[in-house]
Structure 1
Amino acid sequence: MSTLRCAPLKCLAWLAPVAALALAGCQNDTVPGPESGKEYFPLEIGSYRVYAVADTLWNAFQRTPSSYQFRETVTDQVSDATGKPAYRVVRARRTLPTDTWRDDSVMVVSVASRSLVLTKNNRRTVELVFPVQQDRTWDMYAFMLGDTTEALDTGDRRYDNRRYQNIGEPFQIMAGGKTYRYDQTLTTALIVGNPNKYGFDDEVNRSTYQQVYAKGVGPVYRVRRRFDYCDPQTGTCGKSNTRIYKGQARHEILIEQGKL
């Protein structure tokens, strides 16, 4: 019976392809874990995003549309309400692309190991939870009564009002005759029908909210609708005739991004 003999370096060279094939086979069998999700909302001082906004108001069945632009700029690093590192985001507004930007509001975004929290008008909302997983739900108002991360995982799903959808899916939308496409996105949507005042869809009211985030880009699309179908003069309520007595619908589409 013969025995394979070779110099040490030659044996290593011969075994290298075999080892590479074995390693590749192991990698193919590995099931990837959930994404952390932080790459869907990058934050860098000086970066900005410009959104085209279509806003429609209803009052006493009268519809009033308007359009303008928002610019959200990460201006500096600060501390949030709990003393943790965060980023200040200044939102400016203008009606026409030729107009001067005027500051509209200020937000604070903080990113922790398990969530991304947005503070605006002294209200904290959980915009993302980590890791991202298809159909995962959470209470976006979990931190309004306390500042502990346990609020996200109480095991009580009755008051969850946000859900992940379409994780890793492409997204495409048009604005101003131009098509914007992103290869890898995720969507957060408002859950309606839960016994809370934040999400509902019935014969009297309708409330929906959806955000699309692109990997490496951030929020690229936002839509919010809040309608009241009741007519106080007749005392009748119902959306079968599609008449909106009072409400608002706002669509925001990312059309520009960069760094100042």
Structure 2
Amino acid sequence: MKLIIPILFTGIVILGLGCTSNKVPAPQIGYEYFPIQSGIYGEFDVTKKIYAIGQDPQSIQYLQREMIGDSFKDVTGQIIYKVEFATQKAQQWNTDSIATIWKTTDEILGHENGDIIVRMIFPLADHNVWDGNQYNSKGERFFETTGVGIAYHTIKENFPETVTIVRQNDSTLVSKRRYVEVFAKGIGLIRRERTFVQYCNTPDCVGKGIINSGWEEISTLKSYGK
């Protein structure tokens, strides 16, 4: 993969007789919202609800851990980190999968199900829009940044500065597809919401929001550290 790294010009020097120069504050890039360093981990309470036609919804709760592991360099010299996803069963962590993640000057990228996804772009700003699939062949899917610097509150903790990434938010009479992530400054991911459901579409129930099949999942940060 060839990554294009732009050259950033951070200042302009103006020379003039009898004039003084004023330093312009550097823009807030936003790297702190997605820290990448070996040993960083987050443990999440996960609640998942599964729907099937003719059956009551099934609720599942479990604890999941995402941990950044060792790093290595690819053929271009890019530093890439391994990410381990594990689920706790009987007080033991069992690895479910391993992915990779890396940061360039203006992007956070990672492998998800074998595809490269652009998870965040910099500098962070409200209503930034980009194609999260630009480095894979899945077709365009536009992500959007919202709520940069806004406080976010959970039952257990308050996060004074966060950013929300809306990866998908499509709703029709027959389906709903939603994928939203919230990141806290200095911590990283604190919440993930995913919804993929199909609604009843027969004449007697179309438009009523009755779920036929699919699932809803919410992951909320329980603990974090290094």
Q: Which residues of 2 match residues 139-154 of structure 1 at below 5 A?
A: 139-145=131-137
Q: Give, in angstroms, the shift of residue 162 of structure 1.
A: 1.0
Q: Give, in angstroms, the shift of residue 41 of structure 1.
A: 0.9
Map Cα deviations across residues 65-115 of structure 1 (whole Å, 9 max, x no partner).
1000111111100246976211101011024xx521100111101100111
Which of 199, 223, 226 pairs up with 1:256? 223
Tell me the distance in 2 between the aligned counterparts of 1:219 and 1:51: 10
Which of 160, 163, 166 pairs up with 1:183? 160
Aligned to 2:9: none
The question of 1:238 aligning with 2:219 is answered: no
Which of 124, 136, 152 pairs up with 2:128? 136
* Paired AA for residue 154 in structure 2: I
Give percent identity, aligned residues only: 25
- Kindly indicate whether the alpha-carbon contact (under 8 Å) linking 2:200 and 2:210 is maintained by their aligned counterparts in 1: no
Aligned to 2:48: 55
Which of 153, 157, 182 pairs up with 1:172? 153
Q: Give, in angstroms, the shift of residue 256 of structure 1.
A: 0.6
Q: Which runs of 4+ in 1 moved over 3 A?
A: 79-83, 234-237
Which structure has greater strand proportion?
Answer: 2
- Could you say what secondary structure the match of 2:172 adopts? coil
Which structure has greater helix proportion?
Answer: 1
Tell me the distance in 2 between the aligned counterparts of 1:105 and 1:251: 19
- Kindly indicate whether the alpha-carbon contact (under 8 Å) linking 1:106 and 1:120 is maintained by their aligned counterparts in 2: no
- Label 1:190 to 1:75 Cα distance change in 2 as closer, same or farther (>3 A): closer
* Paired AA for residue 78 in structure 1: F
Q: Give, in angstroms, the shift of residue 236 of structure 1.
A: 6.7
Which of 170, 195, 203 pairs up with 2:173? 203
* Paired AA for residue 120 in structure 2: L
* Paired AA for residue 127 in structure 2: D
- Kindly indicate whether the alpha-carbon contact (under 8 Å) linking 1:203 and 1:237 is maintained by their aligned counterparts in 2: no
Which of 213, 216, 223 pairs up with 2:183? 213
Q: Which moved more, 1:119-128 or 1:79-88?
A: 79-88
The question of 1:247 aligning with 2:211 is answered: no
Aligned to 2:78: 84
Q: How many residues align?
A: 205
The question of 1:68 aligning with 2:49 is answered: no
Map Cα deviations across residues 33-59 of structure 1 (whole Å, 9 max, x no partner).
642121111122122110010011111
* Paired AA for residue 123 in structure 2: P
- Label 1:99 to 1:236 Cα distance change in 2 as closer, same or farther (>3 A): farther
CA RMSD of aligned residues (A): 2.6
Q: Give, in angstroms, the shift of residue 61 of structure 1.
A: 4.9
Q: Unaligned stretches of 5+ in structure 2?
A: 1-19
